[in-house]
Amino acid sequence: MAESKYPSFSIVITTVDSSSEADKLAKHLVENKIAACVNIVGPSISVYNWKNNLEYSKEYILWIKTLTENILSVTHTIKTLHSYDVPEIISIPFKSHNDDYSQWICDIFGKEE
């Protein structure tokens, strides 16, 4: 397989407890060109252990598409704006199989192919 002419992309995933917080975080990330796109999914139900208690919470999932080199900026933004004491911040590298989509992401960040 040939080496990609595009930079490395990642999806950063986080969850929040309200649609208004999801909107606020997504808008900040996209307007400040920290993310190319944020998908807000939900509400969903999360089941987890918090301080030795089994918790069930309604949450919204954010799929934050960005350049891998922006993960630290995304992480800082989430930690700064998030309402949780310990927000989920997970990143997954991805490869686009659509050159037009890859180019669109690069255009958002002013990157040339």
Is the per-residue pLDDT at 90 higher than 90? yes
For 66-99, b/e burial (b = at least 16 CB within 10 A) is: bbeebbebbeebbeeebeeeeebbeeeeeeeeee
pLDDT given at position 1: 41
- Asked whether residue 113 is domain-assigned, the answer is no
Domains contained in the chain, number = 1
- Examine residue 14 and state whether it is found in any structural domain, yes or no: yes
> Is 2 among the domain residues?
no
**Would you say residue 39 lies in a domain?**
yes
pTM of the predicted structure, to 2 decimals: 0.92
Rounded mean pLDDT of 40-54? 96
Residue 103 domain-assigned?
yes
**Residue 42 in domain:** yes
Q: Show the domain range for 18.
A: 9-108
Is residue 23 domain-resident?
A: yes
C-alpha span between 52 and 48 (Å, rounded): 10
CATH of the domain at 38: 3.30.70.120
Mean pLDDT in residue range 51-74: 97
Cα torsion through 90, 76, 68, 70, rounded to 10: 160
User: Residue 3 pLDDT > 70, yes or no?
Assistant: no
In a domain, 63, yes or no: yes
